[in-house]
Structure 1
Amino acid sequence: MALAIRAQITTTHLNLNFKSIIKRSQNTRIQTKPIYHSNPLTHLVFSSPMSTFSAVKGSSVIRSSLIDPDGGALVDLVVPESDRASKRTEAESMPKAKLSKIDLEWVHVISEGWANPLRGFMREDEYLQSLHFNCLRLKDGTIVNMSLPIVLAIDDKDKEGIGASPDVGLMGPDGNLVAILRSVQVYKHNKEERIARTWGTTAPGLPYVEEVISPAGNWLIGGDLEVLEPIKYNDSLDHYRLSPQELRREFDRRQADAVFAFQLRNPVHNGHALLMNDTRRRLLEMGYKNPILLLHPLGGFTKADDVPLDVRMEQHSKVLEDGVLDPETTIVAIFPSPMHYAGPTEVQWHAKARINAGANFYIVGRDPAGMSHPTEKRDLYDPDHGKKVLSMAPGLERLNILPFRVAAYDTMEKKMAFFDSSRAKDFLFISGTKMRTYARTGENPPDGFMCPGGWQVLVKYYESKQAEEAGQQPAVLST
């Protein structure tokens, strides 16, 4: 496998000049297969091996499926409605394993094809490839990226109850049957190895480890999923949870000729908006007619001090209402994956999943999926390694990576602007932590940092949070 990967990533990177192509032909369909993709905006046209599109002026070809899903057709593991009653009856007689809330989020992710071509929780061979190589080799020799193990842990009692049964019913946190896991394989859950290879450290305090892995059982169970009905959360946000298939249909409906995805787990400030609007401008300058932004906040597990999903979605809505982003060229949807905070390892998963949703450009920022070291005062990962890893990652060669341009608050212009090192003293960097501190303390950020409507959403959230915390304080009796 190592030789195959090395051969892929050393393939010559192609640079095409837009003007010279236009002079040659107004109607020629250009196909390129860029391998080194650290600066994808030097490419005029990109195509996967199985699908093509054209950005050449005068072309009438418009397809949103600008990039094929990993492994071919998208999987859809939700049982057809006509078969659900019989499947449920069958599952009732099977041995059972219970899912946690986060396990259920992974069932959602797998069932809709975000992890394409994965068809269930990983068996041991898939787990080892993911853990040690960050990718999977398919039967036809194709390599797809899979940087995070997607696994289901069970304890000794569950393992004993399953015994030699080939199939297992999966119960949701509320006790309802959610899915069937077919042709199961049970194998050892070496937690220390998993943690060390995923995060590069076993330091205490890693949020996902503490929440999911440490309390989990000592066994992993893999198999093929049959999900008894679509996963819903009934939190008034399900209409934002568009599947990869639904997103691709929406890109078609809007006649997108490029789709660029931006993931975040924080509120959108004007620096983010500057980056997204500038990316669209650059794509238009390259000859694309209708590039569509997929603003795609992470909607699964996040650490306790992150802004909750419902607040973030309300804030994002205000950003569109205030015209900071154009609703006509922006799709806001929730990415249902849990968050690992595993830096360069995890950012590959975030990029890979957007391929399956149809995005062919991916914006990567400073320290993507990173966090502060849990026991030391420093970043856990090098802030630049995420974008460097994405430019070389096996299985992501088809995706154009857009490096994040650094934005900061320009104190002279009174707005967010791209950082100019020649007058560095004029710029103020406002971190996510600093932004949350402003909101908590009731202090306003500088004018132009965030749209007023969006900022008020955050202020109200922190006000309600402080009132709630005050109400939980024990009463002090005076004598």
Structure 2
Amino acid sequence: MIDPYSSEVLKPLYVKDEACRKILLEEAKEIPLTVISSAAAANAVMLGGGYFNPLSGYMDLADVIGVAERMQMSSGLFWPTPVVNMLRGNSLSEEIKSAGKIALRDPNVVGNPVIAVQAVDKIEIVTEKQIGEIVKHVYGTTDHEHPGVAAFTEAGDTLISGPIEVLNFSYFSTEFPDTFRTAVEIRNEIKEREWETVIAFQTRNPMHRAQKSFAGWHKMN
């Protein structure tokens, strides 16, 4: 099997050790908390599951602009779209800066439980002009009717970057128990089945019958 992207081993950010998880949950009670955007929560799930290997967390502004304009982070790593935690307004900025960490609450689960704890590297204000340029490069439009543009522009103007430790997979593992897999689980299953050829086909929702047939055709050819 080929190595994970840009590393020899997969680096999922989900905290498996129960004792460490308890410590983080207790710590979350003592540091600033905020309900993040749905997109940021989805990014946390992807980071936790190892899908966004080798990223260690949310990008800073330099990386966001580099990815948007050139699909390249400051390190030179190829990456196609920004992975961000944007907050609306900066009322918590000083509190977050002082604590050095922030507990991220899930907007998609009742009660908004903490989905991850983030160490704060930078707190940066993104101007309206910069936001417009970013979405234009990434989505090819600034039209708010585009769901990607709407999600990015409505998330806020305060960019919180830094590594995260993920505590759960939001609603994915409970609502889709038969189909949700982390990148680690997928790779392990490929090994167990001794598959030598695997077709990667990315969709925004579960693969339907025509897409399955299309992927099968490519495997045969």
TM class by shorter chain equals 0.7 to 0.9
Q: 2:50 is aligned with what amino acid? A: G
Q: Which of 179, 192, 195 is the equivalent residue of 2:132?
A: 192
Q: Tell me the residue number matched to 1:107.
A: 44
Paired amino acid for 2:165? E
2:46 and 2:141 map into 1 onto residues whose CA distance is 26
**Other-structure match for 1:68:** 4
**TM-score of the two chains, using structure 2 as the length reference:** 0.84
Query: Among residues 193, 197, 200, which one is paired with 1:261 in the alignment?
Result: 200
SS at match of 1:131: helix
Write out aligned runs for 1:89-168 (5 A).
Answer: 89-136=26-73, 138=75, 143-154=76-87, 155-168=89-102
- What SS does the corresponding residue of 2:118 show, helix, strand or coil? strand
Superposition pairs for residues 266-305 of structure 1, below 5 Å? 268-270=208-210, 272-282=211-221
Shift in Å, 1:243: 0.9
Q: Distance in 1 between matches of 2:112 and 2:204?
A: 30
SS at match of 1:247: helix
**1:394-413 equivalence runs, <5 A:** none
**TM-superposed deviation, 1:206:** 0.9
Aligned partners of 2:97 and 2:123 also within 8 Å = no
Identity of aligned residues (%): 22
SS in 2 for 1:209: helix
Distance in 1, Cα, partners of 2:21 & 2:209:
44
CA-to-partner distance for each residue in 1:265-288, whole Å, 9 max, x for gaps? 476344x45433322222xxxxxx
Matched residue, 2:183: 244
Asked if 2 retains the 8 angstrom alpha-carbon contact of 1:84 and 1:229, the reply is no
Q: Would the alpha carbon gap of residues 252 and 86 (structure 1) be closer, same or farther in structure 2, given more than 3 Å must change?
A: same
Shift of 1:119: 0.7
Unaligned runs of 5+ in 1: 1-64, 283-479
Matches of residues 376-387 of structure 1 in structure 2 within 5 Å? none
Distance in 2 (alpha carbons) for counterparts of 1:274 and 1:230: 30
Partner letter of residue 203 of structure 2? L
1:215 to 133, 150, 154: 154
In the alignment, the residues of structure 2 paired with residue 248 and residue 234 of structure 1 have an alpha-carbon distance, to the nearest angstrom, of: 17
**Matched residues in 1 for 2:214 and 2:25: separation?**
48
Point out the structure with max Rg over C-alpha: 1
Q: What CA deviation, in whole Å up to 9, does each residue of 1:270-319 have, x standing for no partner?
A: 4x45433322222xxxxxxxxxxxxxxxxxxxxxxxxxxxxxxxxxxxxx
Count of matched residue positions in the alignment of Structure 1 and Structure 2: 212
Cα deviation for residue 234 of structure 1 reads: 5.8
**Aligned amino acid, residue 166 of structure 1:** G
Q: Please state if 1:77 is matched with 2:10.
A: no
Show the counterpart of 1:177: 114
Q: Which whole-Å CA distance do the structure 2 matches of 1:121 and 1:198 have between them?
A: 17
CA distance in 1, matches of 2:12, 2:217: 35
Higher relative contact order (CA 8 A, sep 6+): 2
SS in 2 for 1:157: coil
Q: CA deviation at 1:110?
A: 1.1
In structure 1, give the amino acid aligned to 2:99.
Answer: S
Offset at residue 193 of structure 1 (A): 1.8
Aligned 8 A contact 1:74 1:117 in 2: yes
CA shift, 1:137, in A, is: 5.5
Q: Which amino acid aligns with 1:165?
A: A
C-alpha distance in structure 2 between counterparts of 1:82 and 1:225, whole Å: 17
When normalised by structure 1's length, the TM-score is 0.41
